[in-house]
Chain A
Amino acid sequence: MQHDQDSTSTLLEQVNHALNHAIPLRIQGSNSKAFLGRPVAGEVLDTRCHSGIVSYDPTELVISARAGTTLTEIEEVLEAAGQMLPCEPPHMGHGATLGGAVAAGLSGPRRPWSGSVRDFVLGTRVITGRGKHLRFGGEVMKNVAGYDLSRLMAGSFGCLGVLTEVSLKVLPKPRECLSLRLEMDVHEALSELAEWGQQPIPISAACYDGHALHLRLEGGEGSVQASRQRLGGEEINSAFWQDLREHRHAFFDNTTPLWRLSLPNNTAPLDLPGTQLIDWGGAQRWLKSNAEGELIHRVVMELGGHATLYSKGPNPFPPLTQPLLRYHQRLKSQLDPLGIFNPGRMYAEV
């Protein structure tokens, strides 16, 4: 267990110093997501000094913790109470922090069924580009007072402010969990997933690895066992999903550029050079390919999706349309007028 520490004033001081001298800040926790996005030149603002669980009441289904708290600590505390972060945020390295997980907004295999990290954010405390420490949202399930700045912070890669504390909705762990491997080809896998998606089958993860469809079933004993009988296949260890989430699956063990493709779930198998792994029941596809970025972006956007480069490259995030880019710039300049928070991390212009 790490040491609980409230370093609000230290962080606030550093931001105000940066504001006074117009020094860009590179906000980081353990740096586990540094591989994603554009490099940022700036003074490091390390959030790990600001850590600890501020409140957790299992019957309220809410946990609040400082940004520098490790995901591991949060997961352990939840596990002890029989609860979980349903969105399964990937760690991608040792010491991954809550702040980093929310700022990156990445979600694990359960995402299409449970919702994303953003969906579980109830409230945040943020140091703003005007040097103030403010609170948005809260610890209640429903709250529509004012604009939803808390959920806006999720996935904004620290470009709109410094997250200092996050309140997340949590859920009880399902009573039963069971994973299956079913051999079939990719076309059959996608068409089965489309059909099962319209039925009350307790699927909570679905991945096609090029050879077989892997499914996770979660729910009560009755529904899980009934679905297991119906679906057949062989039972596998559910650790498969942690490995998939953390990119420890053999597929990721390679130096070919890795792309994340976010697509409508019912998109047919993609005709792109390289090898693919399908996650999220079809809505997230991993592509290892040496193809030109331009080609990949174009093909995926024509299908209603977008591609992100998970390897080194000049513009890892998918291009924004003209009006969207303009409104990103306007929002950035309103919330971070001096442009000191992770400038250029997502887009050179933002």
Chain B
Amino acid sequence: MNILYDERLDGVLPKVDKAALVTELKQLLPDLEILHTQEELTPYECDGLSVYRTAPLLVALPERLEQVEELLKLCYRRKVPVVARGAGTGLSGGALPLEQGVLLVMARFNRIIEVDPNGRFARVQPGVRNLAISHAAAPYGLYYAPDPSSQIACTIGGNVAENAGGVHCLKYGLTVHNLLKLDILTVEGEKMTLGADALDAPGFDLLALFTGSEGMLGIITEVTVKLLPKPQVAKVLMASFDSVEKAGRAVGNIIAAGIIPGGLEMMDNLSIRAVEDFIHAGYPVDAEAILLCELDGVEADVQDDCDRVKEVLETAGATEVRLARDEAERVKFWAGRKNAFPAVGRISPDYYCMDGTIPRRELPGVLKGIADLSEEYGLRVANVFHAGDGNMHPLILFDANQPGELERAEALGGKILELCVKVGGSITGEHGVGREKINQMCAQFNSDELTLFHAVKAAFDPSGLLNPGKNIPTLHRCAEFGAMHIHHGQLPFPELERF
């Protein structure tokens, strides 16, 4: 089933008279930059999920709030779909354009409006890069905690839309835990503020509802984030294991010892070797799995925790435990993990990154399931895992130039996500559903649950103009997907016990 918008399954899009729309836009907003020729549109055909491409009807690059307001009002009046986009680094096709829709690029709203060290917050425009917030807060000893691996490029507006995570989520939370306030524009171009400068706001928690809503409920125009004092010190332990099961158990044991690491990452042998070839991070290439455990906070506590974690790791059967000697080695250990994706990119022409989450205790069974699927589909899978919070990133290796391999990779990916759902997990931990996982939503939610999601959408965007075809599948699509699914007359994963 193709990932691009399918009117048969996703609902009929309004036909838009492009020439008339461009003319009216130019009349109404003469200083708004719009791109509409084929060569101008090409760079905007995809987001970070680059295997899927559609040229938008036109691209709008507003710089002032009034332009966004007027654009939305016009699109609402003319029934033109609108897809919002930040830096376009998303990995789930959430900002994949629509042929019949406007791509609203918010990247030029890149001003940090205010950093208040006493209030410990920063007020920024949605196009500000994640890392730029921490840079602006650094002179005060503060930082913005969520750190998706694309933080050098991704924008805060996109982070909010996707409820982005990172490697420090277990201790410091996701985007939703680090926000105070959002200013938004509704589909009708009306201003609304969600949340407050205070820690809570009157009424329903619409701030939580909007976070992670993938541009389906409104357009984010300003974000107020919480800032935290920078941890005084951070230390990293690297432990090697001769089996992934032992590494998985060690993770549970660390937490059972009452320690919440700042970061806790696992990599399997294929990932370790790919990374070591690329980065020379000093990883043990013979290990079946390594754990990277970062402990941060006040110096005295961190030293104490390091000793405890070292003992836990050794008791759990680690073949080697190394404490990064200094900051340079700590950075090197992390560089390996942070470059795991490009490292895997070097050993395979293409790779496809999954984002399932599972209860941690299910790790050995799920890794076994992935290995079996990998064999069944004839594609290698490298496993990188935010072990602390149960977020897996299996990387499926394939070659898009080989006929059928992309389709096989997609099918394998879908199976892995369904396996995550089976054990009580989720199809996406931090990358979002977007267009990519629209079919797997049918595995995670039943039709009553999807109907309720559609009801939420209807409260904010009854005509379905904001990012249609993303995040929540139509029941029609799920019926089709389900029919396709039992095609071979077999339940997926018959070997698994069902609880």
Residues of A within 8 A of B (CB): 57-62, 82, 105, 111-112, 115-116, 118-119, 128, 130, 132, 134-136, 138-149, 151-152, 154-156, 159-160, 171-173, 175, 194, 197-200, 202, 219-223, 225-226, 262-266, 280, 283-284, 304-306, 308, 317-321, 323-325, 327-328, 330-331, 333-335, 346-347
A-B contact pairs, 27 of them (CB 8 A): A59-B256, A105-B205, A116-B199, A118-B205, A134-B448, A136-B449, A142-B426, A144-B426, A144-B433, A145-B437, A145-B441, A148-B212, A149-B452, A151-B176, A156-B205, A173-B258, A198-B120, A200-B298, A226-B300, A266-B118, A283-B198, A317-B203, A323-B192, A324-B206, A328-B203, A331-B459, A334-B456
Give the distance in Å from the alpha carbon of A258 to the alpha carbon of B455 in the complex: 38
Q: Given A222-B303, A223-B298, A327-B459, is A60 in contact with B357 using a C-beta cutoff of 8 Å?
A: no
Report yes or no: B456 in contact with A147, Cβ–Cβ below 8 A.
yes
Any A CB within 8 A of the CB of B209: yes
Q: A304: nearest residue on chain B (CB-CB)? A: B197
- Least CB distance from A5 to B in Å reads 20
Residues of B within 8 A of A (CB): 116-121, 140-142, 162-163, 165, 169-170, 173-174, 176-177, 186, 190-193, 196-206, 208-209, 211-213, 216-217, 229-232, 252-253, 255-256, 258-260, 297-301, 303-305, 357-361, 386, 388-391, 424-433, 437, 441, 444-446, 448-449, 451-453, 455-460, 471-472
Give the distance in Å from the alpha carbon of A160 to the alpha carbon of B232 in the complex: 43
Q: Given A115-B173, A305-B197, A334-B456, is A200 in contact with B297 using a C-beta cutoff of 8 Å?
A: yes
Give the distance in Å from the alpha carbon of A135 to the alpha carbon of B426 in the complex: 12
Q: B448: nearest residue on chain A (CB-CB)? A: A132
Q: Given A130-B448, A142-B165, A328-B204, is A220 in contact with B456 using a C-beta cutoff of 8 Å?
A: no
Contacts of B297 in A (CB 8 A): 200, 219-220, 223
Give the distance in Å from the alpha carbon of A246 to the alpha carbon of B44 in the complex: 55
Question: Contact partner of A58 among B176, B256, B452, B471, CB < 8 A?
Answer: B256
- Least CB distance from A92 to B in Å reads 17
Report yes or no: A266 in contact with B426, Cβ–Cβ below 8 A.
no
Give the distance in Å from the alpha carbon of A155 to the alpha carbon of B195 in the complex: 13
Contacts of A198 in B (CB 8 A): 117-118, 120, 140-142, 229
Q: A336: nearest residue on chain B (CB-CB)? A: B455
Question: Contact partner of B202 among A119, A318, A333, A335, CB < 8 A?
Answer: A318
Contacts of A318 in B (CB 8 A): 202
Report yes or no: A144 in contact with B432, Cβ–Cβ below 8 A.
yes
Contacts of A346 in B (CB 8 A): 203
Report yes or no: A148 in contact with B209, Cβ–Cβ below 8 A.
yes
- Least CB distance from A321 to B in Å reads 7
Contacts of A111 in B (CB 8 A): 199
Q: B427: nearest residue on chain A (CB-CB)? A: A145
Report yes or no: A223 in contact with B301, Cβ–Cβ below 8 A.
yes
- Least CB distance from B308 to A in Å reads 10
Report yes or no: B203 in contact with A220, Cβ–Cβ below 8 A.
no
Report yes or no: B204 in contact with A115, Cβ–Cβ below 8 A.
no
Other A-B pairs, 9, CB within 8 Å; known A219-B298, A223-B298, A335-B455? A141-B390, A143-B428, A146-B472, A175-B258, A223-B297, A331-B204, A331-B456, A334-B455, A334-B459
Contacts of B451 in A (CB 8 A): 130
Report yes or no: A172 in contact with B357, Cβ–Cβ below 8 A.
no
Report yes or no: B429 in contact with A142, Cβ–Cβ below 8 A.
yes
- Least CB distance from A178 to B in Å reads 14
Report yes or no: A200 in contact with B230, Cβ–Cβ below 8 A.
yes
Give the distance in Å from the alpha carbon of A223 to the alpha carbon of B298 in the complex: 6
Question: Contact partner of A144 among B202, B205, B212, CB < 8 A?
Answer: B212
Report yes or no: A148 in contact with B198, Cβ–Cβ below 8 A.
no
Q: Given A200-B297, A223-B297, A266-B116, is A330 in contact with B204 using a C-beta cutoff of 8 Å?
A: no
Report yes or no: B203 in contact with A334, Cβ–Cβ below 8 A.
no
Contacts of B428 in A (CB 8 A): 143-145
Report yes or no: A143 in contact with B229, Cβ–Cβ below 8 A.
no
Report yes or no: B441 in contact with A146, Cβ–Cβ below 8 A.
yes
Q: B233: nearest residue on chain A (CB-CB)? A: A200
Contacts of A152 in B (CB 8 A): 204-206, 208-209
Contacts of A172 in B (CB 8 A): 255, 258-260
Q: B117: nearest residue on chain A (CB-CB)? A: A198
Q: Given A144-B428, A171-B260, A220-B301, is A119 in contact with B173 using a C-beta cutoff of 8 Å?
A: yes
Contacts of A128 in B (CB 8 A): 448, 452
Report yes or no: B202 in contact with A149, Cβ–Cβ below 8 A.
no
Contacts of A335 in B (CB 8 A): 452, 455-456, 459
